Amino acid sequence: MGAKRSVNCGLLILTAIVVLAVIVAVVVIVMKKHKKEGTSTEATKCTTAATTIMRSTAEVTENIRCLMVGDLLNFNDNTTAYDKEKDFMSELAYGLYRKTQVSKLGLWVYGYTTSFTNLNESLKNMRGSPLDFLWDLYALNYKQVEKPTSTFEAIEQLNNLIDLENRSNCLIFLSASTNTSGLPLLSPNSSLSSIEKIVAIGYNDVHLNKIVVPPQGTALAIPYSYTDEDLEKILNMFPASITTTSPVKSTAKLLNATTPETKTSTTPSATTLVSNRTTVSTSNNTEIPTTKVPFLSFSNGLGYVFLLLLWTIAQRFGLVASDGHNRPRKGEVHCLFVGDLMHFGDDKDEYEREKHFIFETSKELFDTTRNATAAMWVFGYTDGPRGLKDILANMRTNFKDFERDLNERMIHKNVKVFGINEAIGNLNQASDKNRNANCVVFFTALTVTSGVKTLDPKGNNDFKRVVVVSLEGVNLDKLVVPPRGEAVSITSDYTKEDVAKVIKAVLSFF
């Protein structure tokens, strides 16, 4: 194991050295090129670029700068639900940075928390980096406070938002409030701020249409167990840029100007909207400031090289998926898999098929997540342990060890039955003081739910996610308690699509 780690570290260091060598080479080439061309050529290029932009009209494209508002109120003291909401916000933020013209995101929160509750501070700390925003987001925690900010109060604060510096031009408002009657309209004062786009997201299938004012505001209801398609719906609500009524100085921003302000003999006229861009009328005798190309600019190639280095390191440490999807991989998923050796009667072939399906599902979990662990437990006609203490204390950190447990325990035997109600009762009262497991995947061929207990762990454990899988295509919604619990029905063929369906249900909470 130690040798393998040494080899891996060696490969990582070698990769880093090679990439750094490429960076140094590119730097040398670029520096020589700039030195040869001289400052006059550089100024000419800047003037030419500026002249192209600023003819009789100067086209200004403003990036999206969104203040994202989180809800730590309407799930009461359900910290699991708030963790799920944070995951949703992180995936949304990732998509905004990747697929839209987002330049900055800020975080403000209302409800049970003492963090990110000051609007002005949130605007001061608009993040231009996805990593910085995620650091803020995951530093956020539920905390009991005497007077949490209500949804009503949060909207009122946003409506009276003062942002004369135009730090934000977009608002993303999350709420899981089931009672929207009596809430004020979400409509910030346009004389105090430059909010031009509002997206109200009703988390947990909440409808917020009544609190927005079209066309500035739009609302969308998103389910608690959201999908990639749900995220895409939100991203599609954002234009490539936000139109604004900025004066000519915005053109200097576009050119990354760092020297004297633009001088003009005329005052800009009112803006004209053309193809989602703002045009500002000016005269032709505008003096153009000289500009400098940033060191890590994409125009000289160094930006791309730097991103390549970051991407290589991220893939090496499993921070992004290797399945072709540009999105963060889930991590820290620790599942207790529960097999059913009862409801197929004496049909050992069916139990073998069940075992194989659990094999494929658990393997997918290990293959697609970071730092996964798993344990195997069974009920029914088995002589295996009925208690969970030793099972939870021995979570397997690699798939081979888990597979061995699976093969040893998924064997139908002619012994006194360990029934489903007893198994569910043990899970509901399970003691896992070290918090080794945070999810339960319960497989069963049960066909009749009457008289069967609900799987809703209340003991000394941290089961954040409970997924009940019907091997017979039966609706088992009665056995779970949303939003933590979800019932999944699969086909009798146990296909790859069925495996993906179960894994999706598990990971939707992480």
134-154 confidence digits (pLDDT tens): 889 988 989 999 999 999 999
Q: Strand, helix or coil at 183? A: coil
Q: What is the pLDDT of residue 237?
A: 85
What is the three-class DSSP state of 280? strand
Q: What whole-number distance in Å separates Cα of residue 26 and Cα of residue 302?
A: 7
5 to 190, 331, 395, 396, 400: CA distances (angstroms): 57, 20, 22, 19, 18
Q: Can you name the CATH fold of 64-235?
A: Rossmann fold (3.40.50)
| Structure letter (DSSP) for residue 221 | E
Distance CA 39, CA 47 (A): 12
* Reported pTM: 0.44
> How is domain 334-507 classified at the architecture level of CATH?
3-Layer(aba) Sandwich (3.40)
CB contact at 8 A, 396 and 371:
no
Q: CA-to-CA distance for 468 and 440, rounded, in angstroms?
A: 8
SS3 (DSSP) at 212: coil
Query: What pLDDT, in 10s, does the model give residues 442-454?
Result: 999 999 999 999 9
Strand-by-strand arrangement of the 272-274 sheet: 57-60, 277-281, 272-274
Task: For residue 457, report the phi and psi dihedrals to the nearest 5 degrees.
Answer: -55, 130
Name which of 121, 28, 122, 132 is nearest 70 in CA terms. Answer: 122
Q: Please say whether the beta carbons of 421 and 319 come within 8 A.
A: no
Cα dihedral 498, 502, 507, 508 in deg (nearest 10): 90
Is 50 exceeded by the pLDDT of residue 277?
Answer: no
- Can you tell me the mean pLDDT for 89-108? 89
DSSP, collapsed to helix, strand or coil, labels residue 171 as: strand
pLDDT digits (tens, 9 = 90+) for 470-509: 999 999 999 999 999 999 999 888 999 999 999 999 998 8
Of 457, 493, 452, which is closest to residue 472 (Cα–Cα)?
493
What is the rounded CA–CA span in Å between residue 122 and residue 133? 11
Give CA–CA dist 360/371, Å, rounded. 18
* Beta-strand relationship, 272-274 and 277-281: antiparallel
Give the closest residue to 185 by CA, choosing from 222, 159, 149, 216. 159
Backbone angle region of 435, left / alpha / beta, with phi > 0 → left and psi within -120 to 50 → alpha = left
More confident residue, 112 or 510: 112
User: pLDDT at position 45, please?
Assistant: 44
Name the average pLDDT for the chain. 79
Match 């203490």 to its residue by tokens: 389
Tokens of 116: 């990110």
* CA–CA separation, 383 and 412 (whole Å): 9
Tell me phi and psi for residue 87, to 5 degrees.
-65, -40
> What are the extents of the domains in the chain?
64-235, 293-328, 334-507
pLDDT at 370: 85
pLDDT digits (tens, 9 = 90+) for 466-480: 999 999 999 999 999
Which tokens belong to 59?
């086209």
Cα 467 from chain centre: 21
Contacts of residue 153, defined as CB under 8 A and 6 or more positions apart, other chains included, come to 110
Distance of CA 175 to the CA centre of its chain: 17
pLDDT on residue 329 = 55
